[in-house]
Amino acid sequence: MSIFREYDIRGIYQKDLNKEIVFSIGKALANEIKNKGGKSVAIGYDARVHSPILFEWLSNGIATTDIKIYDLGMIPTPIAYFSLYSKNTSIDSSIMITGSHNPPEYNGFKITILKEPFYGEQIKNIGKMIESSNICFQNTNPKINKINILGEYIDFLVEHFSKLTNFKYKIALDCGNGVAGVAIKEVLERLNISYLPLYFEPDGTFPNHHPDPSEEKNLLDLKKAMKESNIKLGIAFDGDADRLGFVSENYSFKGDELAILFAKNILKSGIKPVVIGEVKCSSIMYSEIEKIGQAIMYKTGHSNLKVKLKETNAHLAAEMSGHIFFNDRYFGYDDAIYSSFRVLELFLDNNINEIEDFIKNLPQMYSTAEEKIQSSEDMKFKMIENLAKKLQNPPTDFPKIIDIINIDGIRVVFKDGWGLIRASNTTPVLVTRFEAKDRDTANYYKQKLLELL
């Protein structure tokens, strides 16, 4: 059951994801699609060496029903989502075979049924059903229909971002040997954008560095290349290209800082932006967006944010990790390639120094890095419940509580900052983050909250 997670199905190839299990997943998902009124599924896969094998096993399971199977080939995850909005087909569901930014031995499935994320209890119920069934692989000789959604996606981006043609800055891009280069290379060339490519060649062993731009160590090659080539703007992608990292000559931008910049750009078009952030986002992001529009705090997780975006019809959602969701001029899912061109749009009316200075001149808060506390699947949520009870009657020396936000874990608002402790939905850990007017105050809040934990 450990592979059936909150947002996707993910595990180690052969150990967790073997022939019988993957076949059963395909069969179960096909029945889910059929029961919801769906008739087709598009399947794409990332650069991992075992992704094509999982495609074969999964397709055999799906072919136990009459669901039509489309092969998208090796693509970024956002193109699997894009296939559901294609003008040339009537695909209603998608499965992306990807291990995202996990180590090379991992793989998994991100699932969308009738344009809705398939997640949470839905995924866990699939696991329970498979666990209680008689698992046996069958060779069903699936009929596979090849389709070029990648080409349609590239055409869409070229047309959508035509005003970026002959962009004034050269940029550096690090694809981390994931699949972003499969799509972005042609778009850059057709828009005549000058760029320095790093690790564009898909290689599921990730020989150069781990494809996770949220970790500073994975941006070192990009920053070095920018310095050596005197390039002012750099963008890095994770393994399946649904998250990005953005750095300029003098600054590394966080996901919530990008949200502020994107919101200001939306405002320029005469629209008051409605922006959703996750519980880890800075209080600065919420207060700055409230000045020009509306900010909504919600749960962490790409599936959660996609559902909330649709429910509220917000223009934008953002996670600290680099998942950016545009519902303004786009379809409301996380697409790092699309988002990278929205980053470049920020510089059509502003130079690099103006953007850097704007962020640096925001009210300053000290934030800790996201830190993880090892727990267990059984204990992590129970610990959060116990902490919530303790906070109802905290010790006399505990800092004064202004508010407690329990949208996702516990975010305790104090006079001069806040502290967050939440249970991860994907790993057996508690995730913490603290923010305050200065380092000492943040560490004090951290000390007191962790003591209580």
Residues with catalytic function? 10, 100, 323
Q: What would you measure as the largest C-alpha separation in the chain, in angstroms?
A: 69
Q: What are phi and psi of 52, to 5 degrees?
A: -60, -30
In this structure, which amino acid lies at residue 366?
A: Y
Number of Cβ within 10 Å of residue 387's Cβ equals 18
Per-residue tokens: 91 = 């695909």
| CB distance 325 to 318 below 8 Å | yes
Rounding to the nearest 10 degrees, give the CA dihedral for residues 71, 72, 75, 81.
-120
Q: Distance between the two ends of the chain, CA-based, in angstroms?
A: 28
| 294-298: strand order across its sheet | 294-298, 274-278, 316-318, 324-326
Sign of CA dihedral 269, 275, 280, 281: positive
Place of tokens 């967790």: 16
Place of tokens 């510089």: 347
